[in-house]
Chain A
Amino acid sequence: MDNYIALSYLDIALASVFLLLNGALSIWLRLGVARSLAFAMVRMVVQLLLVGLLLKSLFAIQSPWLTLLVALFMAGFAAREIWARQHRRLRGWQGLAISGGAMGASVGVVAIMALVVLVQPAPWWSPRYALPLLGMIMGNAMTGISLSLDTLHTALNREQRAIEAQLLLGATKWQAMRPFLRQAMRAGFMPSINAMAAIGVVSLPGMMTGQILSGVDPNEAVKYQLMVMFLIAGATGLSVILATLGSARALTDERHRLRLDRLGKAKQGN
């Protein structure tokens, strides 16, 4: 890291000039996005500055409990986000429990494995390694789960007649739901597959770019990125499968009935 170039706050302010120009254009052209642009920009600045302060003090304190607390807070926020992104969601506590549980279990196992066996910081839970790793994996698992649950719930609701026709011919609930389970899981896997296919050619991932900009040897940055991608895709796949099966189980019962009464009303808007 000897050739790391530190940025001054003036540099950052200058970088925002183009965004401010966009805001001015928006007002001039009456695009109506100036307000939300400004709000998003301020929010980003505040959030990132705060998180920088928080990470700095977390790294200084080096407490396992505090690290765990932050990890749990991230997981709770992600579970809520999954819940909020579905067009139709499971009623009651089950919706949150299934998405939170599926994500927590797979992300937890993968992240702990990566820390203990692969990266091996000392101590293994060191927040400098644990939190960024957890954040990257969790963010992707969150997207995967919300895509697959949204697909599953929409499909089961729309295809009620086709599913019940199979149940009435003596199919089990798993047989009757199979095409929709497959569709839901495919939707959850898609972002990982697309990301892996385009990486390095179309997109240079932010983590790797960040490392290269801050002076790390590109080969080393690539190795880190490969590890992170494997972990992300693996954890996302696991959590997508767990969440889809869990939600399908919650939307049927032991008498092989489709229980759409356990699905809430469609969300207003999009």
Chain B
Amino acid sequence: MLEIDTLSRPGIGPISLRVADGECVAITGASGSGKSMLLRAIADLDPNSGMVSTQSGARAAMPAPEWRRKVAYLPAESGWWADTVAQHFDTPETVDLGTLGVPPDAMAWEVARLSSGERQRLAFLRLLSHQPEVLLLDEPTAPLDEDNTALFEQRLHRCLENGTSVVLVTHDPAQAKRMAGRHLVLADGKLTEAAHG
């Protein structure tokens, strides 16, 4: 469960939103409407105000690193800080690369060798290894082809079945329809229900 109450940052808000356990809410909006800014604010990566909480408690009551493990944000472009892929995982041997169609030996690769699609999928697996309660996904399938998008959505469905709450920012109305029960639009810093649901 994710509960957002009057979240604001410059240019956005106040925004209130409740995402239930196992629910996926899709957010669309024009480029530059602040979708990424909204997700960053929820993850507490930029200064913002408002109450945000999950079933484990309020954001303000826990240290930021703990919050970010529970409310996991996948940026549109992933970041890498070491040379090889495996160095970015706590327990690389337990990661199931096959579910997202990543080659089984990718853990031993240099990060520089990864394609943008591989980066994105590995960053998602990296995020899942902390078993977050909430996923904030920023155009996660933008660099993926059709087959890998299908694999990604399958994996996301499994998260939803396990009770994870998902906020999915996407440019693709068809994906919003496939994945999400609710479809919201961000415009002028405000969230509204999409006209055609």
Contact = CB atoms under 8 A, between A and B. Distances in A.
Given A257-B44, A257-B47, A167 B80 contact: no
Interface residues of B, number: 23
Contacts of B130: 169-170
B77 interface: yes
B79 A162 contact: yes
Interface string A146-177: 00000000000001111111111111100010
B65 A256 contact: yes
A263 to B, nearest CB: 14
B81 A169 contact: no
A162 B127 contact: no
Interface string A247-270: 000000101111000000000000
Contacts of B79: 160-166
Contacts of A165: 75, 78-81, 123
Nearest to A179: B81
A132 B47 CA distance: 47
Given A162-B80, A165-B81, A165-B123, A257 B69 contact: no
Which of the four size classes fits the interface of chain A?
Answer: 20 to 34
A161 B78 CA distance: 7
A170 B81 contact: no
Contact of A256 (B64, B72, B77): B64
A255 B44 CA distance: 7
Contacts of A166: 79, 81
B45 A257 contact: yes
A169 B69 contact: yes
Contacts of B66: 170
A169 B65 CA distance: 8
A172 B65 contact: yes
B24 interface: no
A164 B78 CA distance: 9
A212 B139 CA distance: 70
Interface string A210-240: 0000000000000000000000000000000
Interface string B103-138: 000000000000000000001001100100000000
Contact of B127 (A159, A169, A253): A169
B2 interface: no
B45 A162 contact: no
A52 to B, nearest CB: 53
Contacts of B43: 168
B81 A162 contact: yes
Nearest to A178: B81
B65 A171 contact: yes
B64 A255 contact: yes
A172 B69 CA distance: 11
Contacts of A160: 79
B44 A159 contact: no
Given A172-B65, A256-B65, A257-B64, A167 B81 contact: no
A172 B63 CA distance: 9
Contacts of A164: 45, 75, 79
A252 B130 CA distance: 24
Contacts of B183: none
B182 to A, nearest CB: 25
A176 B126 CA distance: 16
B190 to A, nearest CB: 24
Given A164-B79, A255-B64, A256-B65, A169 B45 contact: no
Contacts of A169: 68-69, 126-127, 130
B46 interface: yes
7 contacts: A161-B77, A165-B75, A168-B45, A168-B68, A172-B65, A253-B47, A256-B65
Given A172-B65, A257-B47, 19 more contacts: A159-B81, A160-B79, A161-B75, A162-B81, A164-B45, A164-B79, A165-B75, A165-B81, A166-B81, A167-B65, A167-B68, A171-B65, A176-B81, A255-B44, A256-B63, A256-B65, A257-B44, A257-B46, A258-B45
Interface of B: 43-47, 63-66, 68-69, 72-73, 75, 77-81, 123, 126-127, 130
A-B pairs, top 6 by smallest CB distance, nearest first, are A165-B79, A161-B79, A170-B69, A162-B81, A256-B64, A162-B79
